[in-house]
Amino acid sequence: MDIYQALRDYQEVITRGDYLVLKAPVRTRFVGRFFRFENQEAMKANLAKAPQFQWSEEEDVSLIIKHHFNRKLGQDAFTLEVTSQGEIIIESQNLRGFGYAQEALEKIMTVQRDRLYLPIVSVKHCPSFEMRGIIEGFYGKPWTREERMDCLHFIADKGMNTYMYAPKDDDYQRRNWRELYPEDWMDYFKELAQVSRERHLDFWYMISPGLDFDYTKEEDYELLYRKLQQLLDLGICHFGLLLDDIDYHIMGAVERRFGKTAYAQAHLATAIYDFLGQQHANPELVVCPTEYDNHHDSLYLAELSEAIPKEVAFFWTGPSTLASQIAQSDIETMAAIYKRPMIIWDNIPVNDYQKDPERLFLTPFANRSPFLSQPDYQVKGIVSNPMISWELSKLTLTDMSRYLWDAKRYQPSMSWKETLKDYAGSEEMAELLGRFAWYNGNRHLHRDIPFEVEEALVNKDTEKLSTWMADLAELIDCLQGFDNPRFQEAMAPWFERAKADQALWQAILDGNPKAVELYQNLQEGQPRIGTNIPSHYYRLHCSQEVTDLSGFGQVSEARAEDYA
């Protein structure tokens, strides 16, 4: 076994290549000093019930597994040591760290015939960010209940720890925030909260009352408390107050009482924080300011930050709503402005802005500085806002999880290859999926279409363009053989679009008058491939829509006043 390769995801690995070899099943004792009466049942089920271990409480055993609490370790950090004296020693500050240590152990523990092989090794790791996860915060049809449950397991399986419930089109969460959730919804939240506890995840509930909240009306405060109490009664203690995408100009009685918007919002946030503190011993609250995508200071942010308790975190989406990059200079600026814990709400790979729902964004989690995790910037963590398609979001989210796990060692090109193989299950299918992803890049992270495609379009290079069109057709034929029903269901509209594109392209090449009708049928509201070669070519060279080609394909920085 190549131990370094097996443990490549961890920051410190020290070994001389020696092994502890024991006859299986191994008489094993568990010594737990993390909580009172801790035993092997606290371990992952596949280890606690592994046939190579024969559990015993006697002193005379061949292997001892120890779990110790270490308050000096960071959140989710762990140390794992396998000694020549027959001990496996794990230290962690929380049970997630204990779980991660066991995952590392599983990667190096092998059984051959009737022998258990354990390399003598020391492993240490501390994830780059305390909070690592997903916020379901997009506009459009929320995920199904089944998709959301799958999301929880995905988060845990990828070494992340946070799920935030905030779909913009859940009316109970936003437009009709005053209405209590009905019984079936509460049963569902109870199930989500239970799974989150079992998988050691933090479940956050976000509420967005800002569209019509009356800051002077006590009844509105009481209705908001009642709504939050529903979730508190399920054991949920992580909450968010979202004040994004609202008209934050105050007037009338609100202006007379508070003077400025920031003070009205701060009063609401502080009231919620105080209420949560009365109902729970250790609640957490994050606030999304109405100015959530600044790359500069403002009077509003200065007043808001001054008036809200410093332990309450603020959301920030980066230096724009759909940030093409978050550089060290960006985080330095905002850390100095916020002066409090910050959670980056990263709108990658979300596709709900303008005509983005027509497209897929299949790209690595790129252009995020490894220095975001430096303690002095107070970045508590990063949560990604995914695409409307949960299944197809998994590619970028898997890649993101690698960045969050170890930001300083993350390399987009290498990580993306591992991500594709992780999802596809084979080198061959991963290569096909990677090629297909090239045609469906994220226009907010990079150029709208690859430079070489744009150049060929402008230059009317039909030979190159035909090569890409033929490649895309071949890719789709192959990808339709990928044995993943969820993938096939999610991809079907784009597979169909690619076939329709082929018909348009052939009509263009043949000079067929039917190209006019085919082009028009492929425009408004249709799923489309990111490169969109036939329609771009038709618009540039076959119609009267475009007469000036300068600046074609250049995408200005996307900003949205009505979007988070």
Give 10-residue mean pLDDT values along the chain (564 residues): 94 96 97 96 96 95 98 97 98 98 97 95 98 96 96 98 96 96 97 97 97 96 98 98 93 95 98 98 97 96 97 98 97 96 98 95 97 97 97 98 97 96 97 98 95 97 98 97 97 97 97 95 91 97 64 42 36
Do residue 44 and residue 175 come from a single domain? no
Q: Position of tokens 């976000």?
A: 206
Q: What is the pLDDT of residue 543?
A: 82
pLDDT for the residue numbered 524: 80
Specify if 403 maps to a domain. Answer: no
C-beta atoms surrounding 211 within 10 Å: 12
Helices 451-458 and 462-479 cross at an angle (nearest 10°) of: 130
Structure token pair of residue 344: 């980056």
> Cα–Cα distance between 515 and 238 in angstroms, integer?
55
With 0-12 CB in 10 A as exposed, 13-18 as middle and 19+ as buried, what is 193? middle
Tokens encoding 16: 């001389």
Using CA atoms, how far apart are residues 15 and 111, in angstroms rounded to an integer? 19
Q: What is the CATH number of the domain that holds 200?
A: 3.20.20.80
Is there a single domain that holds both residue 445 and residue 356?
Answer: no
Whether residue 533 is contained in a domain is answered as yes
Same domain for 154 and 119: no
CB 102 within 8 A of CB 125: no
- C-alpha 250, offset from chain centre: 34
In a domain, 415, yes or no: no
CB atoms within 10 A of CB 395: 26
Within a domain: 121 = yes
Query: Which CATH number is 108's domain given?
Result: 3.30.379.10
d(CA 487, CA 190): 29
**Which stretches within 171-260 are classed as H helix?**
183-198, 218-232, 252-258
Show which of 357, 386, 415 is a domain's final residue: 386
Task: Give the pairing of strands 53-55 and 12-23.
Answer: unpaired
Place of tokens 């489309």: 528
* pLDDT of the residue at 526: 87
Q: Which DSSP letter does residue 123 get?
A: E
Distance CA 400, CA 403 (A): 5
Residue 220 tokens read as 């509105």
Statement to judge: residues 326 and 438 lie in one domain: no
CA dihedral 320, 325, 331, 334 (to 10 degrees): -10
- Asked whether residue 419 is domain-assigned, the answer is no
| Number of structural domains found in the chain | 3
Residues 6+ apart with CB under 8 A from 253: 216
Residue 261 in any domain: the answer is yes
The answer to whether 216 touches 256, Cβ cutoff 8 Å, is no
Q: Is the dihedral of CA 470, 531, 411, 347 positive or negative?
A: negative
pLDDT of residue 545: 59
Same domain for 186 and 302: yes
Pick the closest to residue 88 from 109, 114, 115 (CA basis): 109
The whole-model pTM stands at: 0.94
Asked if 378 and 498 sit in the same domain, the reply is no
Regarding whether 270 and 353 lie in a shared domain, the answer is yes
Kind and range of the H or E element at 455? helix 451-458
Q: Give the integer Cα–Cα distance in Å for 13 and 101.
A: 12
**Residues 327 and 372 placed together within one structural domain of the fold:** yes
Q: Are residues 293 and 354 in the same domain?
A: yes
- Integer angstrom CA distances of residue 409 from 73, 90, 123, 402, 434: 20, 24, 16, 9, 22
Q: Label each residue of 13-69 as H, E or C.
A: EEEEEEEEEEECCEEEEEEEECCCCCCHHHCCHHHHCCCCEEECCCCCCCEEEEEEE
User: Which residue segment(s) compose the domain that 351 sits in?
Assistant: 131-158+168-386
Residues 171 and 209: their CA atoms lie apart, in Å, by: 11
Q: Closest Cα partner for 173 from 142, 203, 132, 196?
A: 142
Give the sign of the dihedral formed by CA 289, CA 564, CA 397, CA 333.
negative
> So which residues are the catalytic ones?
245
Asked whether residue 365 falls in the same domain as residue 462, the answer is no
Final residue of a structural domain among 364, 386, 408:
386
Q: Is the peptide bond before 25 cis (omega within 30 degrees of 0)?
A: yes
Compute CA distances 247 → 3, 7, 46, 250, whole Å: 56, 50, 52, 8
pLDDT of 561 reads 37
Q: Is 143 among the domain residues?
A: yes
Cα–Cα dist 67/286, whole Å? 33
User: Are 84 and 139 part of one and the same domain?
Assistant: no
CA distance readout (Å), 194 to 117, 157, 270, 412: 36, 16, 29, 34
Q: Looking at the domain assignment, is residue 410 inside a domain?
A: no
Q: Which of 67, 116, 70, 63 is nearest to 89 (CA)?
A: 67
β-pairing, 162-165 vs 202-207, is parallel
Q: Which amino acid is at 63?
A: L
Domain shared by 230 and 377, yes or no: yes
Q: What pLDDT sits at residue 563?
A: 32
| SS (HEC) of 385-451 | CCCCCHHHHHHHHHHHHHHHHCHHHCCHHHHHHHHHHHHHCCHHHHHHHHHHHHCCCCCCCCCCCCH
